[in-house]
């Protein structure tokens, strides 16, 4: 029992130290928008509370069940609770992530229709909550080939935009690991979508460090960090970046296997994350951690990241 009490005391002290580190960094730099993907269990407004308890100034949420096609609508009460909590919070930036089921690039007409309808619901939910972007993967071509997949994705996005002509919510295309037939592991895929849609101004991008690394880009080598970001800027456009998913990788560079690791425990060197945190050009871009064991490790991961600002 005594050991258990000591372990609890040690854990509490560690948590307080991490929280202090995050709060100090945020207070010293009001432009620093950083946090993690947080749970909406108990109501979407609870995400704001959880983010604030960890000292986060930026969070990501699911606004609906990510493993089901249908979700109950957001009630006015839930929307008001979320907006009120956000208004009085240190959390400055909230981004939504869409359902895992959505595949806007599929050649299957029925699945693409379900995916479009689900994305429309994602946009509607974000709109009423006041969230400006919904992150989505580009989808998988399912063997049709990459050009066909991109064409299907472009057509899907055009349909979505046509059906929500006045929506202020932008869809954020996320870089991917390239696992299976997934699109988005090359910056050229994102560029092709921007070039192909009728309303490119309604799209932005989300850069995932784990995905870009396992897709084969050397973020950690000599000059690699600057080279990768220079290529992203040249091909996609840094002005189109809305947020960064800051994740380490369990698998090696070029493996194209999407497995996130805690910061400092994966195959991406700390130097890459240090450069990311210290980059003047990326200083005001929201940074979101998406690792496992969110309730116990997100604060640790974010504390690790802010510690790299001065070490």
Span 128-145, average pLDDT = 98
Q: Band the pLDDT of 254: cuts 50, 70, 90.
A: very high
Query: What HEC string does 107-175 produce?
Result: CCHHHHHHHHHHHHHHHHHHHHHCCCEEEEECCECCCCCHHHHHHHHHHHHHHHHHHCCCCCCEEEEEC
Look at residue 1 in the predicted model and tell me its pLDDT. Answer: 37
pLDDT-above-70 percentage for the chain = 96
Closest CA to 250 of 298, 292, 308: 292
Span 141-156, average pLDDT = 98
Residue 2: pLDDT above 50? no
CA 59 – CA 199 distance, rounded (Å): 27
Structure tokens that stand for 218 in this block: 């050397």
Are 178 and 256 a contacting pair, CB within 8 Å? yes
Span 111-119, average pLDDT = 98
Span 239-245, average pLDDT = 99
Look at residue 3 in the predicted model and tell me its pLDDT. Answer: 38
**Positive/negative CA dihedral, 17, 20, 299, 285:** negative
Domains of the chain: 2-307 (3.20.20.150)
Q: Band the pLDDT of 12: cuts 50, 70, 90.
A: confident
Q: What is the DSSP letter of 296?
A: H
Residue 137: pLDDT above 60? yes
> Ranked by mean pLDDT, which of 135-149, 217-231, 287-301 comes out on top?
135-149
Angle of helix 146-163 versus helix 187-196 axis, rounded to 10: 50
Residue 279: pLDDT above 80? yes
Cα angle, residue 173 at apex, residues 167 and 176 outer, rounded to 5°: 160
Span 71-85, average pLDDT = 97
CA 164 – CA 241 distance, rounded (Å): 22
CA 108 – CA 225 distance, rounded (Å): 38
Look at residue 9 in the predicted model and tell me its pLDDT. Answer: 64
Span 29-39, average pLDDT = 96
Sort residue 32 into left (φ over 0), alpha (ψ -120 to 50) or beta: beta
Residue 47: pLDDT above 70? yes
Q: Band the pLDDT of 68: cuts 50, 70, 90.
A: very high
């Amino acid at each position: 029992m005594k050991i258990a009490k000591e372990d609890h005391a040690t854990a509490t002290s560690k948590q307080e130290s991490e929280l202090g580190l995050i709060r100090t960094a945020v207070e010293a730099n009001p432009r620093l928008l950083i946090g993690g993907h947080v749970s909406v269990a108990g109501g979407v407004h609870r995400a704001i509370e959880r983010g604030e308890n960890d000292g986060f100034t930026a969070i990501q949420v699911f606004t609906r069940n990510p493993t089901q096609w249908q979700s109950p609508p957001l009630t006015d009460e839930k929307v008001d609770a979320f907006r009120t909590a956000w208004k009085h919070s240190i959390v400055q930036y909230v981004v939504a992530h869409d359902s895992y089921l959505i595949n806007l690039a599929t050649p299957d007409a029925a699945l693409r229709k379900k995916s479009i309808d689900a994305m429309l619901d994602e946009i509607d939910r974000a709109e009423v909550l006041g969230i400006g972007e919904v992150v989505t993967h580009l989808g998988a071509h399912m063997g049709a080939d990459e050009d066909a997949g991109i064409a299907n994705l472009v057509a899907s996005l055009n349909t979505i935009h046509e059906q929500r002509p006045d929506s202020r919510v932008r869809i954020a295309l996320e870089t991917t690991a390239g696992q299976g037939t997934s699109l988005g592991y090359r910056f050229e895929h994102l560029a092709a979508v921007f070039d192909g849609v009728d309303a490119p101004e309604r799209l932005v991008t989300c850069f995932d460090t784990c995905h870009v690394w396992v897709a084969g880009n050397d973020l950690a080598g000599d000059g690699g960090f600057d080279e990768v970001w220079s290529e992203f800027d040249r091909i996609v456009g840094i002005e189109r970046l809305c947020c960064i998913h800051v994740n380490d990788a369990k698998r090696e560079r070029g493996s194209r296997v999407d497995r996130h690791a805690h910061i400092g425990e994966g195959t991406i060197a700390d130097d890459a994350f240090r450069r990311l945190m210290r980059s003047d050009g990326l200083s005001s871009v929201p940074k979101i951690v998406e690792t496992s064991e969110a309730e116990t490790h997100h604060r640790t991961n974010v504390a690790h990241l802010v510690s790299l600002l001065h070490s």
